A and B are shown apart, each in its own frame.
Chain A
Amino acid sequence: MRTALLAIGVIIGLTRFAAGFTVEEETVFPSAGVEQQRIAILSTTDTAVLKPLIEAYQSRNPDIAVHYTVASSQEVFAAIQSERLAFDLVISSAMDLQMKLANDGFAAPYRSAATEALPRWARWQDRLFAFAQENVVLIASNEGLEGLGLPQTRRDLIEMLRDNPNRFRGRIGTYDPSLSGAGYLFATQDARQSDSFWRLAEVMGSLAPRLYISSNDMITDLKQGTLVLAYNVLGSYAGPRLAGDGDTSVVELEDHTLTLLRTGLVPTTAETPELGGAFLDFLLGAEGRRLLRDAAGLPPIDETALSSGPHLRPMRLDPGLLVFLDAIKRRAFLDEWSAALQQN
């Protein structure tokens, strides 16, 4: 019954909103009982990932329908910033764009017991709240690395690439920061953490790397054997997809491993902001956290996971994130990046 309803509700493919914003998926989860209210959620997270949470939420609130719209992080940002569309909750993995929305006054303040319980680093003011922490990892094909051993640090990686150019030429993948928002965020934060990023870029540049715009594509290519290594892949995608696959390894580099915070905010344009807040509370609550971990494969906010992993560097939710969004800064960074990549 439910699947039937879902099938009616789901519109797959690219829909253009009247105002000109590109949607990837749009799904209506009808209420179990008589619909009293409807939450409009705009998200970068695939519907399939959050579906168990939405359904759990609805089983608790049978009179609420959920209208779940998926778009790319840039589109999500634009929908709120320039289109000023009415969504009750905006979920995005693009921390920098979310930060900019909050900083520029597009996020409404929201306060509840659940948001107050968040650690300081997992929220900014009472406008931006993290509900998942995902590590940015290196994935490798065990067969491709045969005889070399898994690199544990960037220095290991650089040495390995330098010493075996033939083995890796054309078989390393990473994000194209000029095309992917996530890739740009990972690259800039990497560059901030250490200079080894630039040396790695130079070495990779000499090995004709393949550039991607999504983690999933990199994982697919690695599984298919096109790639031996993929650098800066979202661990939350790689983990479930590579689990039980003896041919691949997921590596959290020991010198530093970035941790991305997936965040939510209630936009000022929300028609029913209290519903957006309520769904956010659900994500942050005990049941939401359990479902995030077990059903969605997204690690919930967990202070102890960070303190027990000294190599983990959660990206700071602060206005520093605005710096690399600056047009001049971005141009300069991308120039430097392509220079490093194309130098050989």
Chain B
Amino acid sequence: MSVGILTLIVLALAVVGFFVGRSRAMSSVGGDARKLHSLPGYYGQTVSLFTAVPAFALMALWLFVQPMVIDARIVGQLGPQIAEDATASKLAMEDVSRIASGLDALQAARGMTNEEMRDMRADFSDIRGRLAEVGVALGSEVNPQIFEMAKDYRIMQARGAMMMSVLVLAAAAAGFVVALRRIHGEFRARNVSETFVRWLLIASAGVAILTTIGIVMSLMSETIRFFGMYPIADFFLGFTWNPQFRGGSDLGLIPLLWGTLYISFVSMVVAVPIGIFAAIYTAEYAPPKVRAVVKPVIELIAGIPTVVFGLFALVTVGPFLRDYIAMPLGLGNSGSSVMTAGLVIGVLNIPFISSLTDDIINAVPQSMRDGSYGLGATKSETIRKVVLPAALPGIVGAILLAASRAIGETMIVTMGAGAAAKLGLNPFEAMTTITVKIVSQLTGDIAFDAPETLVAFALGMTLFVITLCLNIFALWIVRKYREQYE
């Protein structure tokens, strides 16, 4: 039974459970809904939940665990030599699963029985040719041992799926019966549904937190591996970035960090004032009709993919800055520059800051402004002294979001600032950032055992720490200057 059909059956059972539960609750009080503790629908809901939730949880768990168990068993069959070599066992597993899926296709195409499949032998028949007929191309002749393992693999999978179907259906049926038997007039179905909602929300928050932890852990372990191969001091204090694929590279962080901070700084200098002023205009000064047009137009910029901005940087802003500013002032003749990328990222971030800030300013209650006007304050005094301070925590949040975007931006930097890791003050020179180097260290032929590739994880970790510090700093600002209104 496939997962899809199983899901449908469980769902159908849950729907039936809803109606049965509801009518059972009604009949338990002789059809008078006022005598029930909760509204009749809540009783139906408990039956649905008890039917579907444990069954689906079991199914998810099974689907997650089964491949791991099967893989472990197959690898066990490979013999200790291969099993201990991570790369070799991974390759063997890939072969096994490819042949197994080929056999699935073959069985489906030819309508073969399970017995016929079991009798097929790699040393007697041309498996490669037959699999090619159903569209599964193999790189070499099939090794009989691998072929036998593929057959085992299929059998184990089929058995697993079978067991899963039985258990899931049993769980659904058990939940159905248990929930139904609990129903009587006094049963607090409403509270059960409340508890369920709480756990659902906790689970969702848990997923978000766990994935973050998972990402950090994996970054962490690779970073530690990197520092096993490359001295930590040379990474953090190195002034040169010069990776060599034959080894002996200089992997100093400082030029990349400098480029990242410099470009982000330029972009924030552009985006923060313009974004906030635009927001103040749309929120406080613009007549409703103008606001209805201006706000969506500003927000439209946010929908443009960054690669388009990158093109804009490459063909318009870069050459313009070079021809009209950098060259006349004798500041260099590079088309890609910190200024180009910074300006364009700034433009990208304007709508972010302005649209969020506009919403935040609008959330400041009108009574606050009235209080200020009533004391004879002008509009700009009111905005500066009452509205903006009240909106500050939100505005800081918006700025922070924009800063993280600037720090993490890759495409515009590649196209606007180039890929040369340099340390310098001249904003019309090409420079590059951490993100660009993460990408370039991981493109091409890569092996995850050289410091030149593992450095990407250390760079990623550095970015993570920078954004974390930014967040902590912002929290601190917000705490310190918070002006809370009810």
Do A and B assemble together?
A: no
